[in-house]
A = this chain, B = another copy of it.
Amino acid sequence: MTITITAFQRSPDRGRGLARDMRVRWALEEAGLHYDVRLVSFREMKEPAHLALQPFGQIPTYEEDDLVLFESGAIVFHIAERNKGLLPDETNGRARALAWMFAALNTVEPPIFDRSLVTILERDQPWYQHRLSALEDTIRVRLASLSARLGDADWLDGAFSAGDLLMVTVLRRLHGSGILEEYPNLAAYVARGEARPAYSRAFEAQRAVAMAASAG
């Protein structure tokens, strides 16, 4: 079985591990799977060959024999279902892990991702401060709920799962904002995720691509 994923040839985050291939790399490393990476330029992402794999012209994609997948959440779930270490064995626990995966991507990520975009694209607009504080208020509402649920546990629901993997990648985008530090148990949770050997291997792999791109 050969696994090939796609990633940015030049990631806009310059190797900070915020692009969505990071999630897939991390899941593959947790599962101990070898994978190839095909780098795509922004132009190539909008061309028919890539659109056949990813209808929205984004990265990552995942190819394995005759299976083609897109959406990092679905790719991580596919890897998690077929390998040890990313989902509980018990059926109900697996359903709950998927709930945390959707919570990460549909409930927690949208305001955090918007905040990043606004700080880049709307900094000079007259509504900038208003938009930024509105988004940060929404983020705090979500983080307060998440922090209350996590309590002093290591992970969201028993052992480390694909739900934690996605949630940590979503929360990492707050590094540098000061917001994560308002919730010490969440800051520790993110640090716990980042301390996993599989995380480090994935992070270094994506960082090497960014370093090569900036040198080239």
Interface residues of A, Cβ cutoff 8 Å to B? 51, 55-58, 66-75, 77-78, 92, 95-96, 98-103, 105-107, 109-110, 113-114, 125-127, 130-131, 142, 145-146, 148-149
Q: Which 7 A-B pairs give the minimum distances between C-beta atoms?
A: A74-B99, A71-B102, A55-B149, A73-B102, A127-B127, A105-B106, A74-B98
| 15 A-B contacts (beta carbon < 8 Å) | A55-B103, A55-B145, A55-B148, A56-B142, A57-B145, A66-B92, A67-B96, A70-B99, A71-B98, A71-B103, A74-B102, A106-B106, A125-B130, A126-B126, A127-B131
Question: In the complex, which residue of chain B has the Cβ closest to the Cβ of A68?
Answer: B96
Asked whether, in the complex, the Cβ of A74 is within 8 Å of the Cβ of B55, the reply is no
- Residue among B95, B105, B125, B149 making CB contact with A105, cutoff 8 Å: B105
What is the CB-to-nearest-CB distance from A207 to chain B, in angstroms, rounded to a whole number?
A: 25
Instruction: Kindly state the separation between the CA atoms of A99 and B60 in the bound complex, as whole angstroms.
Output: 12
Asked whether, in the complex, the Cβ of B102 is within 8 Å of the Cβ of A105, the reply is yes
Asked whether, in the complex, the Cβ of B92 is within 8 Å of the Cβ of A74, the reply is no
Q: State the majority secondary structure of interface residues on A.
A: helix
Given contacts A74-B98, A110-B110, A127-B125, contact A67 B55 (CB under 8 A): no
Instruction: Kindly state the separation between the CA atoms of A106 and B58 in the bound complex, as whole angstroms.
Output: 13
Asked whether, in the complex, the Cβ of B57 is within 8 Å of the Cβ of A103, the reply is no
Question: In the complex, which residue of chain B has the Cβ closest to the Cβ of A73?
Answer: B102
Question: In the complex, which residue of chain B has the Cβ closest to the Cβ of A131?
Answer: B127
Instruction: Kindly state the separation between the CA atoms of A187 and B102 in the bound complex, as whole angstroms.
Output: 26
Task: Return chain B residues, CB-CB under 8 Å to A96.
Answer: 67-69, 74
Question: In the complex, which residue of chain B has the Cβ closest to the Cβ of A97?
Answer: B74
6 more CB-based (< 8 A) A-B contacts, given A51-B145, A74-B99, A106-B109: A55-B145, A56-B107, A67-B92, A70-B99, A74-B96, A74-B98
